[in-house]
A and B are shown apart, each in its own frame.
Chain A
């Protein structure tokens, strides 16, 4: 008997939920490896390893999420990723140069870049969705 195909919207919803769960797990394991194992090197290494493995799971969930989208949704995601990556490279290099030449008083941290990528990506997705509404 032919198996009934699940509607694309349902697949996308399920994949988005899985991606959110993996991302949440990655953030929690990152917090544990950063703040939860201070002073215990063995536990810190285990926590970092767990965080890394969960991170791979998050990447795979993201790939599955992208594969579950239709062509317009993929286009929106691609544009958002492109803008986020481009801005991250340009702004990241400028920010790093400002730090290295001591024009700014604080250090350029990788976390600043991650926040910039996240905010730009979310803005890109929102703008893309509103453009094709």
Chain B
């Protein structure tokens, strides 16, 4: 699954570590999601979308 987390993170001037703290996961998890190695659960996807004030579909796209 592709996503725009890296772009949104840059727009909001957040590091992976800062985003990880905000959505209560490890930095490793944010990194794996950004690289498309790991698909987040629905609750985590909602947390990320709420944080960036976007819908889930705007952030995550099925390949």
Docked-complex contact B25 and A72, CB < 8 angstroms: yes
Interface bin, chain B = 10 to 19
Residues of the B chain whose Cβ atoms lie less than 8 Å from the Cβ of A5: 24
Docked-complex contact B38 and A132, CB < 8 angstroms: yes
Q: Main secondary structure on chain A at its contact with chain B?
A: helix
Number of chain A residues close to chain B: CB under 8 A = 14
Q: How far is the CB of B31 from chain A (nearest CB, A)?
A: 7
Tell me the B9-32 residues at the A interface (CB within 8 Å). Answer: 20-21, 24-29, 31-32
Docked-complex contact B21 and A70, CB < 8 angstroms: no
Tell me the A1-31 residues at the B interface (CB within 8 Å). Answer: 5, 7-9, 12
Tell me the B25-63 residues at the A interface (CB within 8 Å). Answer: 25-29, 31-32, 37-38, 40-41, 44
Binding site for B on A (CB under 8 A): 5, 7-9, 12, 70-73, 75, 129, 131-133
